[in-house]
Amino acid sequence: MAAKHRVAGNQALVWRVLGGVALGYIMLLVVLPMGGIFVRSFQNGLAGFLEDVLQPAALASLILTIKVAFGAAVINGVMGLLAAYILVRFTFPGKSFLNALVDLPFAIPTSVSGLMLLAVYGTGSPIGRVLEGFGLSIAYEFPGIVLALLLVTFPFTIRAVQPVLETMDRSLEEVAFTLGATRWQAFWRVTFPSLIPSVLTGVTLTYARALAEFGSVVVVAGNIPLKTQVAAVYVYGEMESYNARGATSVSFVLLIVSLIILLVLNYLSGIRSREGKSRPNQEVKVESSAIPGKETRSEGVS
Amino acid sequence: MSRPIEVRELTMEYSEVRALDNVTLRVEKGELVTVLGPSGCGKSTLLSLISGLRKATAGQIYLGEERIDHLPPQQREIGFLFQNYALFPSMNVYENLAFGLRIRKYSRIEINRQVEELLEMLGLTDQAHKKPAHLSGGQQQRVALGRALAPKPNVLLLDEPLSALDVQIRQRLREELRNLQKNLGITTILVTHDQEEAFELGDRVAVMNKGKIEQVDIPQRIYDFPATEFVACFVGNVNVLSGVVSSGKIYSCSLAMDIPDYLKGTLNNTPVRIYIRPENFILEKETNATAKGAMRGVIRSAVFRGALIGLDILLDNAEVIHAVVTKDKTSSKGLFPGERVVVWAKASHVVSTQTAPACVKAG
Ligand SMILES: Nc1ncnc2c1ncn2[C@@H]1O[C@H](COP(=O)(O)OP(=O)(O)OP(=O)(O)O)[C@@H](O)[C@H]1O
Ligand SMILES: [Mg+2]
């Protein structure tokens, strides 16, 4: 008995130590650096911080970042939902290859993604020349940034929606068909409501990732202040020119926006896990009054 | 609104499996036919073809006089209750029931009137605003049933509607289902692997095996006159005795029986299998008198089953048979374990000359 108690006591101690290590790890890697940024941004007080952030180039880069990230999140939210539905519900040749291809943006350096886009849509390329004929230039322009962000973030919504769709009972849509619903009606009325949390998760992740993107944007759209300079690129530029405080102040704003997004994400996944849980089944009360004219039938085995 | 449904020579092949093989079945207006068969025999496939969710490889489907096998499920107006109910998880009970009516663009007042009526009929009025995840199994089953009935379909298809439920409530819901179906007078096909359910619910029972319908008849006749070895084995208990044909009779050991019409003209000494229901044996205590055309053996054990007693009898040829007699008979005739008995058979059911048995079932 006593030995058993000691073992249990030792285990509790082990878990307490491991818990402390995990907490310390998060402190060291996340909380302390955030605190550092905070202290540095406000080393000259609120006035100094505002002065840094309200620099025209700084403010423009922040607004641009928030705008393009929003665009990328909306477009990839819609397209990701469509792609996930098609990848799950239809069979076609090359499907598994296409499915594997979806993760590619995660696996290659983002600067390479940028180069790929330039090669196809850049000024020198045939497609780029056609687009320019329509007055749409990709390289060193606003559409280029959005395109770069779309490429880098497109796995998020697909990969958030796909597993939910896969585990979703196919017979739900089939029942809807037998009740007269078209495929379109069945999707929007039956399937989509269950997908909303995962779509929102995908969109939020896309947005957060787009805020942080550096490599592909700098390759495709360059570093033109007030025009194509996103916040992450601005921060890098200020560091290069020894304006550490300006860099940290803009970084701090980025951090806060990201933090808010991640809190929203956390809240959304909370909703999702709550919806997944059902109350334990209580025993049924079968009211015999439910159907009139009840009678017992005799069994016919002699 | 309710119409007869008929399938003719329906065949369904998945990539390598033939799930349905030339199935023909007609269900009359207002009739309930149960389709009984083991797992994997093609029951769900049959329903999915009738509903239009899958396309048959060959064959025709008629709703009344109208051929419908080219129509998509949306245009067939056939209600389908899935084995797992497939309730819409994001909608509450009311919205689930209203789904088919909303798709048909009924007015809100009309939808409300019909859904309230359904809720009342199914005893679900108090649950109207609950999500399916918060309902018990029995309540979920009723919502699924109500949702299928709401648009007043031509035909109702039920895929194992009660198999997901606890045994205690299954019996209650079985009776409710039966009464509901009769009150509405809706043409219904119910699929099940539960024999008791098939017999209790069906006006007629279709017994299926390996994609084929082996027999369609009223429950009593399926039991008393099984058309095939499979039906004899699958439905109820049965003893399988080996025997041989000899001059217009069949013999199993010393047991003699009349040869059925369909085997008249079979050559002498043809080996046969004889299927006999446990209640179709006549037992007497062995006396010195010769018992013509009977088998002899000893009662090995007796199992009390209420009004009936099950007896295991070890025959002198070492085969074991299982007989069922009424309790009165065991005491009046002194049929107790350890006693020697003579055994006749009232009737045999199926006699087969095929070499491979349709199923192996000890008596
Ligand atoms: N989509 C499919 N692709 C390939 N084979 C299938 C498919 N659906 C069913 N089958 C096969 O067809 C046969 C009949 O299946 P079906 O589901 O109709 O049987 P069932 O009688 O409903 O069985 P259960 O009682 O287990 O539900 C089985 O051998 C099954 O493996
Ligand atoms: Mg099935």
Residue A136's CATH number: 1.10.3720.10
d(CA A62, CA A225): 11
Cβ neighbours of B14 (radius 10 Å) = 11
Residue type, B153: P
User: Which of A279, A297, A301 faces B133 most closely, judged by CB atoms?
Assistant: A279
**B84 contacts in chain A (CB < 8 Å):** 169, 171
User: Which of A177, A185, A291 faces B53 most closely, judged by CB atoms?
Assistant: A177
**Residue A77 lies inside a defined structural domain of this protein:** yes
pTM: 0.80
| Number of domains present in the structure of chain A | 1
Question: Which pLDDT belongs to residue A277?
Answer: 46
**Residue A12 lies inside a defined structural domain of this protein:** no
Please say whether the beta carbons of B323 and B277 come within 8 A: no
Mutate to test the pocket of ligand 1, among B17, B53, B80 (most ligand atoms within 8 A of CB): B17
**Residue A283 lies inside a defined structural domain of this protein:** yes
Distances (CA, A) of A236 to A141, A166, B120, B316, B320: 20, 42, 69, 99, 91
- As to burial, measured by CB atoms within 10 angstroms (0-12 exposed, 13-18 middle, 19+ buried), residue B361 is middle
Which chain A residue has the Cα nearest residue B180?
Answer: A291
Question: Which pLDDT belongs to residue A301?
Answer: 35
Please say whether the beta carbons of B363 and B322 come within 8 A: yes
Instruction: Express each pLDDT in B141-198 by its tens digit.
Output: 999 999 999 999 999 999 999 988 888 888 889 999 999 999 999 999 999 999 999 9
**Residue A25 lies inside a defined structural domain of this protein:** no
CA dihedral B262, B264, B266, B267 (to 10 degrees): 170
How far apart are the CA of B45 and the centre of ligand 1, in A? 6
d(CA B88, CA A178): 14
Domain that residue A145 falls in: 44-300
Question: Which pLDDT belongs to residue B50?
Answer: 96
Question: Which pLDDT belongs to residue B254?
Answer: 76
Check whether B126 has a pLDDT greater than 90.
yes
Two structure tokens written together for A82: 């469509």
Mutate to test the pocket of ligand 1, among B12, B34, B41 (most ligand atoms within 8 A of CB): B41
**Residue A179 lies inside a defined structural domain of this protein:** yes
Check whether A290 has a pLDDT greater than 70.
no
The count of C-alpha atoms lying within 13 angstroms of the C-alpha of B91, restricted to the half-sphere facing its C-beta, is 22
Percent of chain B with pLDDT over 70: 95
Instruction: Express each pLDDT in A115-171 by its tens digit.
Output: 998 888 887 788 888 888 888 777 788 888 999 999 999 999 999 999 999 998 889
Length in residues, chain A: 302
**Residue A5 lies inside a defined structural domain of this protein:** no
Query: How would residue B1 be classed by pLDDT, with cut points 50, 70 and 90?
Result: low
- Ligand at minimal distance from the CA of B39 is 1
Question: Which pLDDT belongs to residue B356?
Answer: 62
Check whether A262 has a pLDDT greater than 80.
yes
Q: CA quadruple A88, A91, A94, A96: dihedral positive or negative?
A: positive
**A169 contacts in chain B (CB < 8 Å):** 84, 86
**Residue A66 lies inside a defined structural domain of this protein:** yes
Cβ neighbours of B76 (radius 10 Å) = 25
Check whether A8 has a pLDDT greater than 80.
no
Q: CA quadruple B88, B92, B97, B100: dihedral positive or negative?
A: negative
- Ligand at minimal distance from the CA of B40 is 1
**Residue A92 lies inside a defined structural domain of this protein:** yes
Nearest alpha-carbon partner for A273 in A205, A201, A225: A201
Supply angle C-alpha B30, B33, B39, rounded to 5.
150
At which residue do the structure tokens 């687009």 appear?
A131
Percent of chain B with pLDDT over 90: 60
3-state helix, strand, coil split of chain B in percent (to 5) is: 30, 35, 35
Instruction: Express each pLDDT in B113-123 by its tens digit.
Output: 999 999 999 99
Q: In this predicted complex, what is the ipTM?
A: 0.85
d(CA B236, CA B224): 10
Q: Which long-range contacts (CB under 8 A, 24 or more apart) does A268-271 make?
A: A268/A197, A268/A200, A268/A201, A268/A204, A269/A197, A269/A201, A271/A197
Mean pLDDT of the A255-276 span: 78
Please say whether the beta carbons of A153 and A72 come within 8 A: yes
Please say whether the beta carbons of B51 and B68 come within 8 A: no
Two structure tokens written together for B321: 């048979």
